[in-house]
Amino acid sequence: EKTELTAQKLSTAVYAALRAWRDLQALRASERGLEQVIHASTTMLEHEATSGPQRIILEQLGQLLGPHLAGFVTDDLTRTAPVPQPAGATGQTQSSISKELQSAIDLARSSGEHQFGNNHYVLNFGRAHADEALMFVGHDVPLSVLDTNLLRLFATNVTAMLQSMDLANDLSEAQMEMVYLLAGATESRSHETAAHVYRVGLLAELLARALGLDEKQCELLRLAAPLHDVGKIGIPDAILNKAGSHTPEETTIMRTHAEIGHHMLATSKRPILQLAAEIALTHHERWDGGGYPTGLKGTDIPVSGRITMLADVFDALGSRRCYKEAWSEERVLEFIQTQRGAMFEPVLVDLLLQNLDRARAIREQYPD
């Protein structure tokens, strides 16, 4: 067969092989691009809270388009920041953009849609609760069909991810607002300020971080601790707001608020409310076993209850109540130190004293 090859047949075979190689390279490039688009979504979910979306999107664009990435990012077309440039990139600033690109930017702003040109594109990632973010990345060479298609897929994917993040944030914020409203309503009924429950949440978070709990535990504790006294909603006003000391019978009734709060919250499937139920039940348990309602002792008391008890007492003693005036900080600290190993876990008392400046700042930032 080889002896029958003519120059024309050889040329045809070479061209066919080159076209096949070109198509294979295009398929490989497409595969790499799709992998990068998928990777971008995962990266945004993992790092959006800490790094912010603009930086992550630009980093992923750089990986998607390679060494020709250059341009700027802007949120209102008056402030711009250069795109981080990979090796070999050339920069472009807002002052040097063409009329064609300016028109694309204006159209992206007015329509809310991404715009694509032969050698430029404008990605508009507007968010419901954030300033509009217009991102432009210029190319030194015309965009190929593959580049444009990957960009469209990338932009659609990122837009969907941002919308999902915004929805999740909306739900989380609504849940937080409901927690603080419920906790604040309970405190208001007992003639205490809503600032107390907010401070208790922040103080509990402070102690949790000092103790070395992980980020998720600290965040949940900050949100759940404000509901520690929600069971007081079931205590009669005459007992709840009594100015003097309680009788033994009244004390027994008052102490039922721990179990009432637990019963109110325990049926929820939400992690925040599950933790809040645990806190409501255990935040009056003492380290020495002399607390209520079940007399738990030491580490048998959930760490959430141990932390919230100290945070609650530290803040409550320093605040005015219907049955007492606010204590001085010196008196509060003296009491807490005398109760180290009795009411409070010793390690937590030590951590509070080590972080006293931060605890004091919380009380000063959110006064009654």
Domain termination site, one of 106, 132, 166: 166
Euclidean distance between CA atoms 276 and 220, whole angstroms: 9
Residues 122 and 213 in one domain: no
Give Cα separations from 81 to 71, 73, 75, 93, 196 (angstroms).
Answer: 9, 5, 10, 8, 42
Residues 199 and 272 in one domain: yes
| Torsion (CA) 23, 27, 28, 30 in degrees, nearest 10 | 130
Distance of CA 22 to the CA centre of its chain: 46
Query: Are the C-beta atoms of 157 and 201 separated by less than 8 Å?
Result: no
Q: Which long-range contacts (CB under 8 A, 24 or more apart) does 339-346 make?
A: 341/287, 341/288, 342/286, 342/287, 342/288, 342/290, 343/286, 343/287, 343/288, 343/291, 343/309, 343/313, 344/287, 344/306, 344/309, 344/310, 344/313, 345/287, 345/298, 345/306, 345/310, 346/287
Euclidean distance between CA atoms 277 and 268, whole angstroms: 9
Euclidean distance between CA atoms 125 and 89, whole angstroms: 24
At 65, list the tokens.
Answer: 């388009």
Q: What is the pTM of this model?
A: 0.63
Domain termination site, one of 110, 134, 166: 166
Instruction: Give pLDDT, residue 254.
Output: 94
Residues 210 and 345 in one domain: yes
Residues 224 and 327 in one domain: yes
181 is a domain residue: no
Which is it for strands 134-138 and 115-116: parallel, antiparallel or unpaired?
unpaired
107 is a domain residue: yes
Euclidean distance between CA atoms 347 and 22, whole angstroms: 67
Residues 32 and 133 in one domain: yes
Residues 202 and 339 in one domain: yes
Which residue's structure tokens are 């690109």? 101
Domain termination site, one of 166, 182, 217: 166
184 is a domain residue: no
- Provide the 10 A C-beta neighbour count for residue 155: 22
182 is a domain residue: no
Residues 228 and 298 in one domain: yes
Residues 246 and 146 in one domain: no
Domain with 306 in it: 190-365
Euclidean distance between CA atoms 209 and 67, whole angstroms: 42
Among candidate residues 145, 182, 153, 141, the one with its CA nearest the CA of residue 268: 182
In three-state secondary structure terms, 191 is: coil
Q: Is 232 a catalytic residue?
A: yes
Query: Are the C-beta atoms of 220 and 234 separated by less than 8 Å?
Result: no
- Opening angle at CA 214, ends 303 and 349, nearest 5: 40
Peptide bond into 67 cis (omega under 30): no
CATH number of the domain bearing residue 303: 1.10.3210.10
Among candidate residues 256, 201, 255, the one with its CA nearest the CA of residue 228: 201
Which residue's structure tokens are 């922040």? 202
357 is a domain residue: yes
Instruction: Give pLDDT, residue 81.
Output: 44
CATH number of the domain bearing residue 134: 3.30.450
Residues 204 and 346 in one domain: yes
Tell me 212's DSSP state. Answer: T
Euclidean distance between CA atoms 227 and 278, whole angstroms: 10
In three-state secondary structure terms, 291 is: coil
Query: Are the C-beta atoms of 288 and 343 separated by less than 8 Å?
Result: yes
Residues 133 and 208 in one domain: no
Residues 12 and 144 in one domain: yes
At 168, list the tokens.
Answer: 């999740």
Euclidean distance between CA atoms 33 and 123, whole angstroms: 18
Set 9, 216, 232, 324: catalytic member: 232
Query: Are the C-beta atoms of 155 and 162 separated by less than 8 Å?
Result: no
230 is a domain residue: yes
Q: Provide the number of structural domains found in the chain.
A: 2
177 is a domain residue: no
Instruction: Give pLDDT, residue 138.
Output: 63
206 is a domain residue: yes
Residues 352 and 211 in one domain: yes
pLDDT per residue rounded down to tens, the chain (368 residues): 555 667 777 777 777 777 777 666 666 655 565 566 556 566 655 555 545 566 677 677 777 766 555 556 665 544 444 444 433 333 444 446 678 877 887 888 788 788 888 777 888 776 655 555 556 656 555 677 777 787 788 788 777 777 777 777 777 777 777 777 777 777 666 656 678 888 999 999 999 999 999 999 999 999 999 999 999 989 998 998 888 889 999 999 999 999 999 999 999 998 999 999 999 999 999 999 999 999 999 999 999 999 999 999 999 999 877 667 889 999 999 999 999 999 999 999 999 999 999 999 999 999 98
